Structure 1
Amino acid sequence: MLNEALLAIGPLPIAVGILLLLVTLYKHRNPATNNAAVEKVAADTVTEILQLPQWISSRIPYIGHVLGYVQDGHGYFAALCSATSLPIFTIRMAAVKLSVVKPELTRDLPKVRHLSLAPLVLQLFKRSLGLGKFSCSLLREEDEMSKKFAPEISRLFREEFIPNKNLRKYVEEIDGYVQHEVMAIGDGQKIFIEEWIFSTLVGALGKSLWGGDNGPFGDPEFVTHLRTFLMNMKKLNAPFDFMIDDKLLASRRFVRERLEEFSFEEYAEKCIGGSADAVEESFLGRVRALCLTHGAAAEGWTDYQILLIAGLGPNVMAASTWMFHHLLAEPELMVEVRKELDEFVRQSDGEIDVANMSEACPLILATWFEVLRSHGGFSLGRYVHEDTMLAGKYLLKKGSYVLVPLRPHHSDRQIWGPTVDEFLPGRFLKEDRSLDELQRRKLRVYGVFGTLCPGRYLAVHMAMALTVRLLLAFDMTRVDGSRTPPHESKDTVAGLATPAVDVEVEMRRRDSACDGVKIRFKSGRQAF
């Protein structure tokens, strides 16, 4: 039951995942005060000044909330929020104490001190990812050296994924892999949309970072096992291996063994020339160096790669899949989206700058934002390292967790209007049909604890490149004839929920001329 309780604390926003969030947590912490007496308040004094969030009991003591989560996933926390007028309340899930924060208090979260993600990531994914003792030691932050890891690697990720020059490189390289997969689809071929998007997007990103076709992501069998592995993390978190399907354990073992076989030295030799300088300056090289510098061991390198993969891939895959589910469900929307895209291509003389899509194709971006709102119902969490306060009123106890369900915010009628339960991309457009930036800022999928995912730009550009390629190349029809998007899976541990079922789609090629369209990122500004 403890494992099921820990699974309830999903920590990831859209765009990019577990390790990216881990390393960005500390960027915007409050400046240290010069008054030590103010910074460190005795626990008994804090208790006298602040109030503990009120407890919400379950019908079945100790395990009732665990069973609720097992049945309804992250929707259970949203239901609890709807059932009480309290802005914050505490529940017990087995031995775990969760302080659940509702939307009215989220603006105070960036000011809260003594919150950390690393120990939470460890508890959530130690078993499902098969993490070893070396990476576990680093994530526990048991010494000063490991505690300095987060701000240092945060800086590395910002330097890699934020600058435009790097985005340009990634966008064009990843689009090359995407274009190859799109061109490989035959006229009239049937594909399962989620499976294809996973293998294409995650495969393209993996090739970009892990050595192209020479790396592990160049092997279709590796990508297949990786999908089985990552899509079943909740099942892999069972307390005993005999409770887990042997096929899932085999897929996890296959992924780990392939990453171990593809050593860092082999990566350096095959993919970046093998020189010492090239190794040190590569992205994976810098990640590895920081891990070693801050107390990790070389034996844990496979764990760090898996954490990175698990964070980078599933969310952008899920959001892109939902994008096409809703376009398939609404033919009129599909027609309008394709119309503005065709016009964009015509005016661009065959070369698209994706940074200009927000102006040239506002409906496509509005549809993307509505996907994030409609399916951004996961929860964000943090571990409380020391007694601290929220909103100057509530005491958050050391050793507990803070949980922020996003569904109550994304389904709030006061924020989104009376049509909140409908899928309406137009809510993100102004009257002149341009994007409404104020509406976009209401989304919470990129984080609520005072930091924003540094990989959000790359994730959106990847999704847009894939969307452009498929819409230009194919007319798509669901084989079952349905126009209803599938329900959300309740097995998602963190991030956007995936569809409960994969949908088969027939692909009819439109115009081969679109194969020559080039996708670039030339603008000096960062879109989306």
Structure 2
Amino acid sequence: MLSEILEVIGPMPVILGILLFLVAAVKHSSLFSQSSKPGRFTPVAEARQLPHSIPSKIPYVGHMMGYVRDGHSYFSSLCGKTSQPVFTICMAKVKLSLVKPELARDLPKVRHLSLGPLVLQLFRRSLNLGEFSCSLLKEEDEMSRKFAPEISRLFREEFIPNRNLRKYVEEIDVYVHREIMALEGLQTIHLEDWIFKTLVGALGKSLWGGDDGPFGAPEFVAHLRMFLMNMKQLNAPATFMIDKKLLASRSFVRERLEHFSFEKYTEKCEAGTGAIEETFLGRVQALCLEHGAAAEGWTDYQLLLIAGLSPNVMAASTWMFHHLLADPELMTQVRDEVGDCVKKSNGSIDLADMSDSCPLLSATWLEVLRFHGGFSLGRYVHEDTDLASKYLLKKGSYVLAPLRPHHFDRQSWGFAVDEFIPGRFLKANGTLDEIQRRKLRVYGVFGTLCPGRYLAVHMAMALTVRLLLAFHMAPLNASYVPPGESKDTVAGLATPEFDVEVSITKRETSYDGLKIRFKSSRQTF
């Protein structure tokens, strides 16, 4: 996840990027140097050993250049080339400790790790964050350090309880269903563009005021996709290195969010109820203010929320259909399974019960997460700490856990790890294999799991079920192969290298009256 270190290279010649990066690195390292006071007793440092350091072929910048070339795969490749369970690489003056699967169980026990400074470095340039939000994410004081666990608690309380999920599932499905119905009469769609508009638009309407909010405007969603899908270029160190269209899209989105926030503020003041409303966004805003943020930075926090909630579910859903299109037999089997489930339940389907009622569909989703879950998860070390009671992690460094070694390990997944095989998540009797499911690491390895994971899978399942039952889909290219993964992904699941156009035909069997429900009391994803 430490793309922030490298994004400064941008689209211009590497040398220019490196020079600009070194300036930032020296400034950043000066902050780290203030962490150790002379004479301070540090028993951890004396008792633990530093992870083995792997030098680069080109001193100082070699690892940077490797990442620029290969993306997150570069970190995974390094893991395969060393027998050490944890090792350190240096990108200029920034140190990264890469942790292999052997020590993954020890990561939740590591103290003094935080996410805020990493989030700041990932998104500061690309989202054009202001000084107020940057100050909060730096976590340089006790108040701001308490923000991360509090915001995590707020997300868990909002997106995990069934009563809240039921509300979101029903709201989002209304918007998804409407987009499905709007496809009638069309002959083709651009897959990624349509899924982004449908899923991200539905989620945004649910959180940001429905059709009357910013996500109700197609132009807003189009500009949002433009700049979210090009975060790496927006991380360039100088404005002249960025396409003016991207800058215009980012400005458009920010202005619309600011305008929406101002309108809400005005409405509350006129109603005499104050500026903070009793909604999820209102509670997020109140928490930000409580921990030292300023009201002027609210647009920044909204953008961070959008960037955190939207891209992964969109990417995973897009890959889902890429693999179904590439395997017509699998698509037919999944569609038949879903259709039988709907018939048995009198025209409805319970999303919370998908692992039992539609195991092949669920297995295909899990294989998407495994196959494309090759990114890295990371944390910032804000105090000297230890890993596995043996290794010292120094203050000011980063801990990185590449996920590809987890998801492509032959001992865990079999010899065909490089093939897309949903059946690896199924038992011999066709039911979902819970043991295999638990091997996935896409939801987290540092002790806290992604609080939005349940909402994400239910959104994806609702979209997949409705689209499969409503339309026949086929690639325009008869010998269809899914696109490769983009190397430009900043964080999370890689997006496809390019969008594809597919043909759609209305199916004779009508499922227009399909009811998407969420009734079961248990959840399995």
TM-score by length of structure 2 reads: 0.91
1:232 matched to 2:230: yes
CA positional deviation for 1:197:
0.3
- Partners of 2:86 and 2:97 within 8 A in 1: yes
1:341 aligns with 2:376: no
* Shift of residue 6, structure 1, vs aligned partner: 4.8
After superposition, the CA RMSD in angstroms is: 2.0
Match of 1:35 in 2: none
**One of 345, 354, 359 as aligned partner of 1:357:** 354
Pick the aligned partner of 1:524 from 506, 513, 521: 521
1:108-147 aligned at under 5 Å gives the runs 108-147=106-145
**How far apart are the structure 1 equivalents of 2:318 and 2:166?**
24
Q: Distance in 2 between matches of 1:443 and 1:427?
A: 12
Residue 14 of structure 1 corresponds to none
Partner amino acid for 1:490? K
Distance 1:48 1:293, change over 3 A: closer
- 136-145 or 177-186, larger mean C-alpha shift: 136-145
- Equivalent pairs counted in the alignment come to 494
Q: Aligned to 1:129, what secondary structure does the other structure show? A: coil
Task: Determine which of 136, 148, 161 is the counterpart of 1:150.
Answer: 148
Query: Separation in 1 of the partners of 2:93 and 2:6?
Result: 9
More RCO (CA 8 Å, sep 6+) = 1
Quote the residue 1:19 is aligned against: none
* Residue matched to 2:487: 490
Maintained 8 Å contact 1:3/1:239 = no
Could you tell me which amino acid in structure 2 is paired with residue 276 of structure 1? T
Q: Residue 34 of structure 1 aligns with which residue?
A: none
CA distance in 1, matches of 2:307, 2:329: 35
Bigger shift: residues 347-356 or 294-303: 347-356
Measured after TM superposition, the shift of residue 480 of structure 1 is: 2.2
1:161 corresponds in structure 2 to 159
Aligned AA for 1:231?
M
Is 1:326 the equivalent of 2:351? Answer: no
Q: Partners of 1:113 and 1:337 in 2: how far apart?
A: 44
| Distance apart, 1:141 and its partner CA | 1.3
Q: 249, 254, 258: which is aligned to 1:256?
A: 254
Instruction: Classify the secondary structure of the residue corresponding to 1:262.
Output: helix
Whether the 8 Å CA contact 1:153–1:290 is kept in 2: the answer is yes
Alpha-carbon displacement from aligned partner over 1:15-52 (angstroms, at most 9, x marks no partner): xxxxxxxxxxxxxxxxxxxxxxxxxx966543332111
The aligned counterpart of 1:71 is 69
Instruction: State how far apart, in whole Å, the 2-side matches of 1:401 and 1:297 are.
Output: 28
Q: Residue type of the partner of 1:129? A: L
Residues 468-479 of structure 1: matches in 2 within 5 Å? 468-479=465-476
- For 2:426, the equivalent position in structure 1 comes to 429
Contact kept, 8 Å, 1:63 with 1:94, in 2: the verdict is yes
Is 1:56 the counterpart of 2:54 in the alignment? yes
Aligned 8 A contact 1:210 1:267 in 2: no
Contact 2:176 2:202 in 1 (8 A): yes
Determine the structure 2 residue equivalent to 1:5.
5
**Alignment-derived partner of residue 185 in structure 1:** 183
Task: Give the deviation of 1:159 after TM superposition.
Answer: 1.2
CA distance in 2, matches of 1:384, 1:43: 18
**Equivalent runs, 1:373-522 vs 2, <5 Å:** 373-511=370-508, 513-522=510-519
Structure 1 residues 436 and 264 mapped into 2: Cα distance closer, same or farther (>3 Å)?
farther
| Equivalent AA in structure 2 for residue 152 of structure 1 | E
Q: CA deviation at 1:293?
A: 1.1
User: What is the rounded CA distance, in whole Å, between the counterparts of 2:266 and 2:415 in structure 1?
Assistant: 55
SS in 2 for 1:128: coil
Q: Secondary structure at the match of 2:474?
A: strand
The question of whether the paired residues in 2 share the 8 Å contact of 1:316 and 1:460 is answered with: yes
Paired AA for residue 243 in structure 1? M
SS of 1:513's equivalent in the other structure is coil
1:341 aligned partner, one-letter code:
V
TM-score after normalising by structure 1: 0.90
Task: Please tell me the residue identity of whatever aligns with 1:309.
Answer: I
What do residues 192-217 of structure 1 show as CA deviations (whole Å, max 9, x unaligned)?
10010001000000000000000000
Question: AA paired with 1:91?
Answer: I
- Counterpart amino acid of residue 419 in structure 1: A
Distance 2:4 2:519 in 1: 46
**Structure 1 residue 498 displacement after superposition:** 0.2
1:293 to 284, 290, 293: 290
Q: Percent identity?
A: 74
Partner of 1:32: none
C-alpha deviation, 1:279, in angstroms = 5.1
- The answer for unaligned runs of 5 or more in structure 2 is 9-38
Alpha-carbon contact 1:6-1:124 (below 8 Å) kept: no
Please state how far the C-alpha of 1:511 moved relative to its aligned partner.
3.3
User: Does residue 366 of structure 1 match 2:363?
Assistant: yes
2:98 alignment partner in structure 1: 100
